[in-house]
Amino acid sequence: MSQRTQKNADTKAAAKPTPQQSGAITGFALALAARAVTDGRPALWIQTDFAALEAGLPYGPGLDLFGLPLRHLLILRVSRPLDLLWAFEEALKSRGYRIEGVELAQVPRNTVKVEGEDASRVLKLVDLLEELDDVSKVFSNFDIDASHLAEAET
């Protein structure tokens, strides 16, 4: 297995929030925003239309009680994830920050458990796809145990 395949598998496992975690993630992001607005600077909340339908919008009275008054929060809704990335980049540019790197990734909601010989074949296929010149990233929804990943490396 290539190092890139291992890195993709590690990243996928680490960056795969579940729907149950979305409230905690949102709360953490809003807590950071509340800390940032103490100096009078506004905070920007960018959300896709789909995310707003799925998770809802920030609740104004609750944010006020939390220390994030709505007068310091600009909420921007965009239709596509790519638009979210563009809006984020433009917001950072206007604030004078330098962007080191931002990336969109396809994170599956459902995974398929793959074991044994099938796991070896899937990993071999991913390696072959990654080696193609016109392929920059390979996303998948397979779930392979760490023990099978170690076996495939040998």
pLDDT in tens, 99-130: 445 556 667 778 889 888 888 888 889 889 98
Strand partners, 48: 78
CB-CB contact of 51 with 25 (8 Å): no
- Sign for the pseudo-dihedral over CA of 67, 70, 71, 76: positive
> Which tokens go with 131?
């080696």
Contacts of 57 (CB under 8 A, 6+ apart): 47, 75
CB-CB contact of 46 with 57 (8 Å): no
Q: What is the pLDDT of residue 98?
A: 47
What's the length of the chain? 154
- pTM for this model (two decimals): 0.51
Q: What is the pLDDT of residue 4?
A: 55
pLDDT classification of 14: cutoffs 50, 70, 90: low
Helix (H, G, I), strand (E, B), or coil: what is residue 59? coil
